[in-house]
Chain A
Amino acid sequence: MKTLQLVELLIAVDTGGVFTDEARLQPELGISVLDAGRAFVLAEQHKKVGRVHPDYLQYYYPEYKEDYQLDDCYTLFEMPRVLSVNYIEDGIQYVGSITGDDNFTRIRNRAQLSSRKKHRMHALWMNKHTSYLYDPTFGNLEVYKKGQRHIRVEAIFEQPTKVEGFNVEEDEYPIPLDHFKRVEELVRSGTIAHIVKVPANTVSNSQDDKQVRSEVKP
């Protein structure tokens, strides 16, 4: 389903399907709630079945920018933040050749990069295979191959709607529908449920117009 359809479903959870623009979550907040719920459900589902549902993945083709480069040793690309799946792996499944047949070797962080350079077998591996380091602090992807201008990324991004090229109105939101049902449950039972029920204080009259609505009985 499309992003806004899912947000409307979330917002209308406790109103019997009635959705009014003025009373509830702004779409931006709704998308944030959806993103957070998706992250939680992803980890939960991965723990159960041991693999990631392909619907979570998004393709991303970072653009090579000459003035963005800092070092001759690696090629730098911009990269949106990705989710963690579990303690062994995160949401990056593929960073490699644009044809999709050469997955570069992941380096988790700079400490690991330093450690690997100190062991002959790891250093040998790095010499023979292209490696990459994802730096979430600066939103960078360092590909340790000089002149690597075109790459392909398949990952589970933290904010899928913010990924370059994603169209909120037309593209499918990357979550399987059965997993979305779990997000709905979380919204209904979690702290967000209270926020969902509170109308927005949008009238500029110095008054607190918010009031908690009673739940709609079936």
Chain B
Amino acid sequence: MQVGAFQYISLVEAVEAAKEDLRIQDTTEHDPYLFRKADEALRHTGAYKNYVKKVCKVDILDGRAKLPVGLQRLTGLRFVDGNGICYGQPYLDLDFLNNCGCNDVAGNYGNLYNPHEVQDGYIVFHDPSNISATQANIAYMGRNVDSDGVMYMSDREERAVIAYLCYHFSLAYPEGYTQHFNYEKKREWTNQKKYLRGLSQKERFEENKRQISAIFKAWILSDQNV
């Protein structure tokens, strides 16, 4: 994700904007419905941007730790001592490392299958009596959501979300809107979704290229390679 390329805005803003388009600003009755649909729209854009790398600290209680909302795939874990300092070997996702071509690293540091597994939103450690730590730092790939599990929306996605809201609201209440309105909003949503996916792909490519370039630059400049 490009930091600073856009800003996050609240889904409520998209809801308010859609209400203006739908001419229902005089009532708040449909706000929760539109809010739910806005979250749905973002989850269905299918853009890479909606999946991000994150880190957070989790509490270990009775041999298990509750995972954050939006988690899709755990990539690493390291225990934290009472002073907040990480210690011991990191647990890394073997599949993830294999995918990255880092099988050797995986071999050195173990994998997720032996010490714990993920069940119903919790990491369950197989041998809790051997764990002295009460906290762990985890790295994971997850949906780009807030602490309530609601999708973050960037300003460039606002138009797509508004179109989605108008499209679905005019489907739910067809009496108040023309077929033309419904069709135009559907078309706008479809086009915006394609645009967002394309933009996201391009940015992901640029980001990968930048990272690869940085790695190679570091490798070339390394003392060992001189």
A42-61 interface mask toward B, CB cutoff 8 Å, 1 = contact, 0 = none? 00000000111000000000
In the complex, the chain B residue whose C-beta lies closest to that of A46 is B26
Complex Cα–Cα for A191 and B175 (A): 30
Partner of A122, one of B32, B148, B149, B176: B32
Known A-B contacts: A51-B23, A105-B31, A106-B27. Give 19 more (CB < 8 A). Answer: A51-B26, A86-B176, A87-B176, A88-B27, A88-B30, A88-B173, A88-B176, A89-B24, A93-B26, A105-B29, A106-B29, A106-B31, A108-B29, A120-B149, A121-B35, A121-B36, A124-B148, A124-B149, A125-B32
Among B31, B148, B150, find the residue whose CB has the most chain A CB atoms closer than 10 A: B31
Judged by a CB distance under 8 angstroms, whether B39 is at the interface is yes
A75-112 interface mask toward B, CB cutoff 8 Å, 1 = contact, 0 = none? 00000000001111110110000000001111110000
In the complex, the chain A residue whose C-beta lies closest to that of B36 is A121
Query: How many whole Å from A92's CB to the nearest CB in chain B?
Result: 7
- What are 6 residue pairs bridging A and B, where the CB atoms are less than 8 Å apart in the complex? A51-B23, A89-B29, A93-B26, A105-B28, A106-B29, A126-B32
Q: Please count how many residues in chain A sit with their CB below 8 Å of the partner chain's CB atoms.
A: 27
Across chains A and B, the number of contacting residue pairs, with CB separation under 8 Å, is: 56
Among B24, B26, B29, B33, find the residue whose CB has the most chain A CB atoms closer than 10 A: B26
Judged by a CB distance under 8 angstroms, whether A217 is at the interface is no
Complex Cα–Cα for A86 and B23 (A): 13
Residues of chain B whose beta carbon lies under 8 Å from any beta carbon of chain A: 23-24, 26-33, 35-36, 39, 148-150, 173, 175-176
Judged by a CB distance under 8 angstroms, whether A182 is at the interface is no
In the complex, the chain B residue whose C-beta lies closest to that of A104 is B28
Judged by a CB distance under 8 angstroms, whether A119 is at the interface is yes
B28–A106 touching, CB < 8 Å: yes
List the A side residues contacting B175 at CB < 8 Å.
Answer: 87
A89–B32 touching, CB < 8 Å: no
A89–B35 touching, CB < 8 Å: no
Complex Cα–Cα for A107 and B33 (A): 11
List the A side residues contacting B30 at CB < 8 Å.
Answer: 88
List the A side residues contacting B28 at CB < 8 Å.
Answer: 103-106
